């Protein structure tokens, strides 16, 4: 179901979605009130909801849609602005499944291959997630790496992309205050990472903020890579510092997971715990190879709980993951492995 006040946007998005096998647009609504009125009868798997509309905006319509159609995953569309980022993260906190940054210039922007791939992946992924809710998850892959032998990790490094904000939220809510620093790369535009950091900061025992170049990485804190900057880790006397760079994108991404993990493995002398959550592509695979080669430990999200099992799937198929599990179970393992009295 599409909900957007622009007839042009509705038409373009409908053509884009229906060009994919297995996706059908069952209804188009011009504002939030029309969407709320129709959603119970239409019974969509996914609702693509614009946030800025007349009559009834997306934020007002969101809880009403979720109540009328609890089986539907709502993906909100927000402008690539600070205001749009704030609204998108607020929508996630209010129950939206995910967001897509609205392309500049609907016609040209919707034709962008990256936007198309992201939208299709999220529509397919969230439809699958909703349909499989309550079913028995598939068993983990039988091949897995051993737990690292270098001792207790002194740094946790997390990478994620498509579906990542909700996976991160589920993980952070279950984590206690850790005795080590946490660095995170989530593929997101400038501005969106600021709002995501503020959202994560409110969820649990760990404080969270965007990383700043040269700042010391503190135990019990999450340092999130800002949009369009790579986050690297350097070792200093008695700890670590963050380094932000504008080096070329890797895996078509900046920030990217691979450079963060490579630098973390070097800085921590192998005593790093890498965690790969849901996401398209394979960013993080080479970085996890570096972590494993240095003696570190790799954990990954399982397929059943991932919106897109690209990044964690690549790590799992390479035999690098010591554990495949949903975010909540990964949080328990992170807490156990980093505990002050953890046994190698």
Residues facing 79 on adjacent strands: 102
The SS3 call for residue 263 is helix
Rounded Cα–Cα distance for residues 140 and 304 (Å): 9
The SS3 call for residue 86 is helix
**Does an H or E element contain 198, and which?**
helix 192-201
CA distances from 117 to 112, 121, 191 (A): 9, 6, 21
Task: Identify the active-site residue in 5, 187, 230, 263.
Answer: 187
Task: Identify the active-site residue in 161, 263, 305, 306.
Answer: 161
Task: Establish whether 283 is a catalytic residue.
Answer: yes
Burial of 317 (0-12, 13-18, 19+ CB in 10 A): middle
Task: Identify the active-site residue in 230, 283, 302, 306.
Answer: 283
Spatial contact of 285 and 254, defined as CB atoms under 8 Å apart = no
Tokens for 328? 């909540």
Task: Establish whether 230 is a catalytic residue.
Answer: no
Cα-Cα-Cα-Cα dihedral of 206, 223, 311, 162, to 10°? Answer: 80
Rounded Cα–Cα distance for residues 314 and 136 (Å): 23
Spatial contact of 230 and 260, defined as CB atoms under 8 Å apart = yes
CA distances from 113 to 45, 66, 90, 188 (A): 24, 30, 27, 16
Spatial contact of 118 and 99, defined as CB atoms under 8 Å apart = no
Catalytically active residues are 161, 187, 283
């Amino acid at each position: 179901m599409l909900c957007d006040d622009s007839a042009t946007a509705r038409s373009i998005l409908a053509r884009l979605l229906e060009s994919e096998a297995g996706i059908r647009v069952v209804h188009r609504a011009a504002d939030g009130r029309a969407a709320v009125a129709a959603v119970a009868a239409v019974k969509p798997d996914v609702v693509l909801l614009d946030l800025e509309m007349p009559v009834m905006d997306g934020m007002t319509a969101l809880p009403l849609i979720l109540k009328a159609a609890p089986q539907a995953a709502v993906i909100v569309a927000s402008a690539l602005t600070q205001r749009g980022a704030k609204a998108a993260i607020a929508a996630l906190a209010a129950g939206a499944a995910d967001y897509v940054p609205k392309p500049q210039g609907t016609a040209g922007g919707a034709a962008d291959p990256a936007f198309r791939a992201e939208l299709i992946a999220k529509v397919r992924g969230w439809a699958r997630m909703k349909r499989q809710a309550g079913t028995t998850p598939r068993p983990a892959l039988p091949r897995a790496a051993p737990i690292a032998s270098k001792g207790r990790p002194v740094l946790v490094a997390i990478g994620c992309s498509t579906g990542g904000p909700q996976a991160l939220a589920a993980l952070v809510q279950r984590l206690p205050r850790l005795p080590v620093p946490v660095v995170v790369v989530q593929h997101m535009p400038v501005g969106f990472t600021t709002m995501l950091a503020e959202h994560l900061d409110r969820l649990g025992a760990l404080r969270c903020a965007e990383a700043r170049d040269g700042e010391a990485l503190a135990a019990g804190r999450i340092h999130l890579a800002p949009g369009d900057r790579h986050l690297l880790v350097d070792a200093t006397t008695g700890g670590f510092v963050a380094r932000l760079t504008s080096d070329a994108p890797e895996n078509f991404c900046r920030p990217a997971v691979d450079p963060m993990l490579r630098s973390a493995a070097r800085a921590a002398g192998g005593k790093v715990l890498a965690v790969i959550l849901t996401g398209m592509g394979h960013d993080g695979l080479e970085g996890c190879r570096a972590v494993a080669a240095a003696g570190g430990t790799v954990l990954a999200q399982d397929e059943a709980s991932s919106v897109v099992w690209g990044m964690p799937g690549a790590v799992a198929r390479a035999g690098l993951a010591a554990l495949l599990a949903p975010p909540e179970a990964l949080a328990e393992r992170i807490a156990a492995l980093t505990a002050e009295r953890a046994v190698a």
